[in-house]
Structure 1
Amino acid sequence: MADIFDNEEIDKDTVEEEELDQLFPENYNLLTEKAVSLKKSYINKLHGTKSLKLAVSVSDGSIEVYELNNSSLDQVCRLSGHRGAVGGVVFSPREDHLLYSAGQHGVVKLWDTRASGSCVQEYKEEEDKEIKPFECLDVSCNGRVICAGSQLVKDDAFLVFWDQKMPKPLGGYWNSHTEDITQVKFHKEKPETLATGSSDGLMNIFNITEPTEDDALIYSLNVENSVDKLSWLDEKVAAVITQSNDLQTWDTEAGDMLRSYSRDKVAKSIKRSKHDDCYLVDAFTARDGAHVLLAGSYGGDGSCLRSVTLGDKKLRARTTLRGNTQTVSCSWYQQDKDILVTTGEGGVISVWARPPSPAPAPAAPAVEKLTIRESKKGAHRHKPY
C-alpha cells in the first residue's frame, strides 16, 4: 500500500520559475488581504460594488461587509439572521449601501449597510407554502427584480421572483429545471434576460417579461454536466463552468456552443502537470476586453492561482498571482479599476491590483547654447576704475 502512495504523481509546474514570468505577461500584485475569522471558516459567496464595497458569506452563516480604502480592507458591518447556509449575496446595482442575501430557510433579506447592518425588508412566500431552500440569488441590472433559485422540493426546483418594493413574490417558474438550481444571472444590460444553471445539466435563457414560463423560455441548452458557475462575458456570450471543472462558452442569441475547454487543457495552459488537481474558479471580461478564466491547483502547497485568456482555438497564459495562500472558491472582478478579489477555503479575502506604471524619467534639462558676440572694431572699452 505504501508503494502506491509513494508512486503517486505530485502536481507541479511543467516549466521553470524563470519561464513562468515570460509565459504569464500580465502582472498583478497582492494589494491587501483580510482574514474574516480566526475560526476554521471558509468563504463561499462574494460580491462587490464599483465603490469597492465587498460582501462575503462565511460557512458559519454570517455575512461580512468590508470597504477597500487605499490599500486596507476596513470592516463596515457583520450581518446575521439567516438560519443555515447563505445561498447568495448581491449588492443592489443602483445603491451601493443595499445588500441582498438568500438563505436556505426560504427567505431573501435586504440589508442597509449604513445602519450598522440592519435588515430593512424580507422577501418570502406565503406562510403555508413549502419552504424553498435557496441556493443562488441575483438582481436585475436596473435593480427592480430579484430572483432566487431553489433546491429540489418535492420533484420541483423553483425560480422565485420579487419586485424590490414588495415582500410577496411576483411569481415563479418550476417546470424548466428538474434538479437543484445552482446559478441565476441576469444580463448585465438587459433586465428582462435571465440565465439559469442547474444540476440537471441545463442552462436556460429566459425573457421574464413574457406572461408564462413556456413563453419566457428562449433556450434550454444542454451542458451535459452539472452547472457550477455561470457568467455573462458580453452582450450575447455566457460562460459555464461545470462540476467536473470544464469550461464552455455559449452564444445565447443563437443557442450554439462556441467553445469547450476540458480540465486537462486548462491544466496545460496554467502549466501544471496533473489535471486532476486543477480547478476552475470563474470567467470574466477584463478591462482590455479579453475573456479571462481564473484557475488554480490543489497540488503542492495549494498556492497556484493563474489566469488564461480564452482564444479562438486555445487558452493563452495571462497572469500568475503570486502570494495566494488558499484554495480559491470564488472571485469578483471590478473592470473599471482593474481589481480582482479572491476568497476561499482559508477564509481570507485577497485583493489583487495591477502595479502602478513607473513614472516617466524626467526629461534632461535643455542645454542653453552660448552665443559669443564679435566685438566691434573701434569700440571703446570702459575701464573698471
Structure 2
Amino acid sequence: MSLDFDVTIDSEEEEDPIEDSDTVANIQEVFRQKFFIDFQECATLKKKYITHAASSNDYSKIAIGIGNEMQVYDFTSTGLSKYIGKNEFGQFSHPVSGVKFFNNDPNLVMASTISGEIHMYDLRSFKKVFMFEDDTEILVKPVNCFDVNANDRLICAGTDELKNEVYLLFFDIRERRLMGGFFESHQEEITDVKFHPTDPDSLASGSTDGLINIFDCKQESEDDALLHSLNTCDSINKLKWHQDNKLSCITNTNDLHLYDIDSQDLLKKWERSEITESMKRKSVVDCNIIDCHNIGTEMMFVATSNYNKGECIRSIKFNEKSLDPLANITGNNQIIRASLYNEKDNVYLTFGEGAIISVWKEGMSSDNGTSSKQMKEESSVKKKMKKKANPY
C-alpha cells in the first residue's frame, strides 16, 4: 500500500492551530552546532514515504524502506550510490515494516514486510539468500518490527495482533529455521524489538499495551526468559539501548522515558511539552521526537516540527537530569519519518515523506543561510522530481 502526500495533516488542521516558531530571538546562541545539507538523494518520483532506515555499522551502506520496496545505497563522503539489482531485488508484494544490516557483515541486509516475511539479501551477488517466515499455521502473522542480535545468529520479529494474540518470533539464522515464539508477555501489537548492542542474549520489546519487556533469550521457556516488565502507562513507539544498560523509550504521544534496566527504575520522563520547550518552539502539537541515538557515552535525540513542511530539525542531548540543546539542522523541506547519526563523522541523515534522503554536516553558511553546495543539491533534487522518467 503506497502512501500519498495528501494524507499529511497540515498544522492548521490540528487541534491547537498555533503558528509554530522559535521562542528565542537568536537560536544559534542556544544551539551552538549548526548543520546544513551536504547532499540529497531522491529515492523515487512516486508519492511514497521513506518510513524506515538503517545503516551498516561502518556506515558504508544505507538501507531504506519505501512503500513495497527496500533500497540500498553505498554511502561515501561524496554522495549516495544506489544498488541496482536484478531479479526484482528488494521488491515485495506488501509494505516494508523494517530494514536491518547484519552487525558484522555490511553486505548482508534484511527487510521485513507486513505479510510476515523477513527477506535476507547478499549485496555481493544481489541475490536473496533466504526468506524467514512462520509457516507453522495457515494464518499469517504480520511482522511490525524485527532485529538481529549482536553475533548475527538470531532474529526476533514482533507481530501485529492476530485473533487477540501477539507474538515474538525467533529465527536461527545459521540453521535457517523458526526456533519458536513468545506469546504471553504482550497483549497488543508489538511496535519495536531491540537486542542489546553487546549482549546477544538480551532483548527489549515494546508494545502499544504500554509494556517494555526485557528477556534473556538463553532461556527455553517464556516464563524463565522474562526478566523484567516495565509499565510505561503509554503506547510505545521506539526503543534504544544506551551506555550502562540504560534504555530510552519514545511513546506514541511523543513523550520520552529513560530507564535503568539493572535497577528497573524510571530515571526520568519528559512530556511532549517539555520536548517542545527544549527545542525552543511554540507549538506542542507540531513537535515530534524522531529517534534516539548515542554520542559516545552520552545520549541524544532528533526532534522536528512538522510546521511549514518540517523546516525545523534539532537534536537534544539528554540524561536523567536535563535536556541540553545540541544542534540546529537547517534547510529541511519534508516531514521527517526516520533519522540516523554517524558518530564517527558527526553526520546526521534524515528520511521522510518527500522520499528524500538528506545528509547533514556541520559547517558555515553563506549570508542567505544556505551553502552553495546545499543550493546546488536542492536544485538537483527539484530537477529530478520534475522529470517523468525514473532517474535510476
In the superposition, the TM-score normalised over structure 2's length comes to 0.85
Find the partner of 2:122 among 112, 130, 153: 112
1:300 to 291, 297, 308: 308
- Between the two structures, name the one with larger relative contact order (CA 8 Å, sep ≥ 6): 2
- Name the counterpart of 1:29: 36
- In 1, the alpha carbon distance for the partners of 2:63 and 2:218 equals 30
Measure, in 1, the Cα distance between the counterparts of 2:356 and 2:81.
Answer: 14
Partner Cα distance (2:54, 2:310) in 1: 23
- Aligned partner of 1:172 among 178, 181, 201: 181
Given candidates 241, 256, 274, the residue that maps to 1:247 is 256
Question: Could you tell me which amino acid in structure 1 is paired with residue 112 of structure 2?
Answer: A
What displacement does 1:68 show? 1.4
Residue among 63, 72, 90 paired with 1:65: 72
CA contact 2:54–2:62 (8 Å) conserved in 1: yes
- TM-superposed CA distance for 1:226, in Å, is 1.0
Q: For the residues of structure 1 that align with 2:237 and 2:316, how far apart are their CA atoms?
A: 19
Q: CA deviation at 1:40?
A: 0.7
**Partners of 1:77 and 1:113 within 8 A in 2:** no
What SS does the corresponding residue of 1:238 show, helix, strand or coil? Answer: strand
Give the 3-state SS of the residue equivalent to 1:27 in structure 2.
Answer: strand
Q: 2:353 aligns with which of 345, 350, 355?
A: 345
Distance 1:268 1:326 in 2: 22
Residue aligning to 1:83: 93
Amino acid at match of 1:198: S
Q: How does 1:140-151 map to 2 (within 5 A)?
A: 140-151=149-160
Hey, what does 2:276 align to over in structure 1?
267
| 2:267 match | 258
CA shift at 1:254, angstroms? 1.1
What corresponds to 2:141 in structure 1? 132
CA 1:84 to 1:172, structure 2 compared with 1: closer, same or farther past 3 Å?
A: same
Q: 2:202 matched to 1:200? A: no
Change in 2 beyond 3 A, CA 1:203/1:118: same
Q: Tell me the TM-score normalized by structure 1.
A: 0.86
Match of 2:190 in 1: 181
Q: How many residue pairs end up in the alignment?
A: 347
Q: Distance in 1 between matches of 2:357 and 2:259?
A: 31
Deviates more, 1:207-216 or 1:125-134: 125-134
Deviation at 1:37, TM superposition (A): 0.5
Is 1:278–1:298's contact at 8 Å kept on the other side of the alignment? yes
The one-letter code sitting in structure 1 at the alignment partner of 2:36 is N
Deviation at 1:300, TM superposition (A): 2.9
Aligned mates of 1:301, 1:126 — CA distance in 2:
43
Displacement, 1:127?
A: 5.3
Distance 1:128 1:313, change over 3 A: closer
The equivalent residue for 1:372 is none
Higher mean C-alpha deviation, range 306-315 or range 210-219: 306-315
Contact 2:134 2:141 in 1 (8 A): no
CA apart distance, 1:355: 4.0
Distance change in 2, residues 1:149/1:8 (3 Å): closer
Of 211, 223, 237, the match for 1:214: 223
Q: Secondary structure at the match of 2:247?
A: strand
- Read off the aligned partner of 2:41 and give its amino acid letter: K
Alignment-derived partner of residue 324 in structure 2: 316
Q: CA contact under 8 A between 1:307 and 1:319: conserved in structure 2?
A: yes
Alpha-carbon offset, residue 154 of structure 1? 1.2
How much does 1:77 deviate? 3.3
Q: Which residue in 2 is equivalent to 1:369? A: none
Q: Secondary structure at the match of 1:291?
A: strand
SS at the partner of 1:341? Answer: strand
Across the aligned residues of Structure 1 and Structure 2, the Cα RMSD in angstroms comes to: 1.8
1:178 Cα offset (Å): 0.6
Amino acid at match of 1:118: K
| SS of residue in 1 equivalent to 2:276 | helix
1:131 and 1:301 mapped to 2: Cα distance?
Answer: 37
Distance across 2 between alignment mates of 1:142 and 1:269: 37
Residues 23-78 of structure 1 deviation map (CA, whole Å, 9 limit, x = unaligned): 1012333221111001111101100011420000002x111101112221111236
Distance apart, 1:8 and its partner CA: 4.2
Cα drift, residue 239 of structure 1: 0.5
Structure 2 vs 1, CA of residues 312 and 254 (structure 1 numbering), >3 Å: closer, same or farther? closer
Residues 117 and 131 of structure 2 are in contact (CA less than 8 Å); yes or no, is this contact kept in structure 1?
A: yes
Larger radius of gyration between Structure 1 and Structure 2: 1
1:288-317 deviation digits (Å, cap 9, x = unpaired): x32111101112342100011114433111
1:42 to 2:52 alignment: no
How far apart are the structure 2 equivalents of 1:233 and 1:133?
Answer: 29
User: Partner residue of 1:383?
Assistant: none
Aligned twin of 1:95: 105
> Any gaps of 5 or more consecutive residues in structure 2?
1-11, 365-392
CA positional deviation for 1:345? 1.1
